[in-house]
Structure 1
């Protein structure tokens, strides 16, 4: 039903993409279209619907690109200059140093952290799947790095080491029911943007930048969240997902920048702008989430839910 509403908006030309109705509709569509299913007699109608939604999704990403275009265009196009610019995003990028995470580490109550985790879980696009979609037809060296990253996400073939189930342990412990309709639109928009970039080949270089900047910036946030969980008495097993990413993503980022970004930029300097746009899109989406989370958590409304 939400998808039909978004299609109607598109037909009237009244779409505003950073809005609750559109992001909720897009999230429901992404969940449906990416889930394994069976053929049915309505496949042509579904294809027509998907075509309309793909146009909307494309317009959404173009809106996000326009938001960061000037900043991304200023990124250096030589290899050393670009890597230095990219790595500086860890300190100077949108959303970095947000006061939300020291607060989570030092002050958040169980109920507040539970609400935060519910938002993060429902808006999680699945790093493993995003990497898998992004690596399609990539040049050999970057493809190998994405493959190594994916293998780590998969626990190197060990179910107990898979990152997704690690997070699920915490979600089940906290009795979180992660649902699209109870998630703020900013979190949905982040997941929707990541899904769009990874699943659409014209944004493949953008996805490389967005995924790389996650690896670059996640360790500090993960460490703060793990510390908050420890303070509230969660076991090592329950906080393992965040403890692991606080350490592992440091190496992942170094490897990503060396084995994926460097060869891609060396081969074609034009890719720097797309990679930069993807990184900035992801950081700005995260910054919007952090601001909304603070509003909900610090004014007490989230704890009351």
Structure 2
């Protein structure tokens, strides 16, 4: 499905999302800085390192913002118009309708599905943690909706229902080994962009737009991945993460749009542009990944078809 959004030509230099050295540095920094830890004696060196990495992180995110700016400027700033535009991203946003996912559902062999899932798992930023960081000091109504979403991510207090461990169980069942060094930089870039928006308060409205568009667009992709696992004979307990998101995120998206995005825009129309940029950044990062995944996974198929 063609996107209605027009993206300018890529610059001659390597795009920061394709810069493996940069994205791996950011990924390792995010992993280290967000991990619980005890005070270290070399705290001054740590602060110096964080200052350098924040410069790199923000420069990367500002590149993504510039690319999204024109399409984001087309979003209406009245609440009704904005929500209609935002929900339209499900059909017309970057990366939507990508042929990768029907192929995964219907044709992909196990080895290719395993490679795809390793890329996705290594680039997973942790939706629950991103929601928790984003909602800090949010207006009450939106904060409550993000809290309800977070509670669902936490299995509503039941460890067996926590979404993160469900993904971990899938990684274990398929014997996947997701690592930063073996992951495409574009997949790391997606996680790094999401983390940057959630951890820098100047991008808080971007983050709520990016998180909401995941809820909006994930059900179709999750359903295809669950179908691939089912076709290849994996039991429900292995498919659970994707089966759940194929259905639950439909309800999550409707609530997010009505109880978080709408009141945020109604309270301050200037937020609409930032929310739109965040959504488009997330979708564009995903679209880069899907294109590269296809190039990698379909390489042999295309060669055979060309004989």
Fold conserved between structures, TM > 0.5: yes
Instruction: Name the counterpart of 1:23.
Output: 23
Give the TM-score, by structure 1 length. Answer: 0.93
Alignment partners' CA distance in 2, 1:85 and 1:169: 37
Q: Deviations over 1:172-197 (max 9, x none)?
A: 01101111111000100000000000
Instruction: Name the counterpart of 1:188.
Output: 188
Instruction: Name the counterpart of 2:62.
Output: 62
Q: Compared with structure 1, are the counterparts of its residues 130 and 229 closer, same or farther at alpha carbon in structure 2 (3 Å cutoff)? A: same
Give the superposition deviation at 1:37: 1.2
Asked whether 1:249 is paired with 2:253, we answer no
Mapping for residues 67-216 of structure 1, pairs under 5 Å: 67-216=67-216
Give the TM-score, by structure 2 length. Answer: 0.92
Are the aligned partners of 1:16 and 1:22 in contact in 2 as well (CA < 8 Å)?
Answer: no
**Runs ≥4 in structure 1, deviation > 3 angstroms?**
none
Instruction: Name the counterpart of 1:217.
Output: 217
Q: Compared with structure 1, are the counterparts of its residues 30 and 300 closer, same or farther at alpha carbon in structure 2 (3 Å cutoff)? A: farther
Q: Deviations over 1:185-244 (max 9, x none)?
A: 010000000000000000000000000000000000000000010000000010010000
Q: Deviations over 1:223-269 (max 9, x none)?
A: 00000100000000100100000000000000000000010000000
Q: Deviations over 1:66-97 (max 9, x none)?
A: 00101101100000000000000000000000
Q: Describe the SS at the equivalent of 1:25.
A: helix
Alignment partners' CA distance in 1, 2:135 and 2:14: 31
Alignment partners' CA distance in 2, 1:64 and 1:36: 29
Instruction: Name the counterpart of 2:230.
Output: 230
Alignment partners' CA distance in 1, 2:200 and 2:16: 18
Give the superposition deviation at 1:300: 4.3
Give the superposition deviation at 1:157: 0.4
Q: Deviations over 1:8-58 (max 9, x none)?
A: xxxxxx996221111111111111111111111111101011011101111
Alignment partners' CA distance in 2, 1:216 and 1:40: 41
Instruction: Name the counterpart of 1:5.
Output: none
Q: Describe the SS at the equivalent of 2:205.
A: helix
Alignment partners' CA distance in 1, 2:66 and 2:15: 14
Q: 26-35 vs 138-147, which deviates more?
A: 26-35
Instruction: Name the counterpart of 2:259.
Output: 259
Q: Describe the SS at the equivalent of 1:182.
A: coil
Instruction: Name the counterpart of 1:53.
Output: 53
Alignment partners' CA distance in 1, 2:113 and 2:103: 10
Instruction: Name the counterpart of 1:3.
Output: none
- Structure 2 residue runs without a partner (length 5+): 1-12, 302-307
Instruction: Name the counterpart of 2:6.
Output: none
Instruction: Name the counterpart of 1:293.
Output: 293
Alignment partners' CA distance in 2, 1:190 and 1:299: 23
- Structure 1 residue runs without a partner (length 5+): 1-13
Alignment partners' CA distance in 1, 2:170 and 2:34: 24
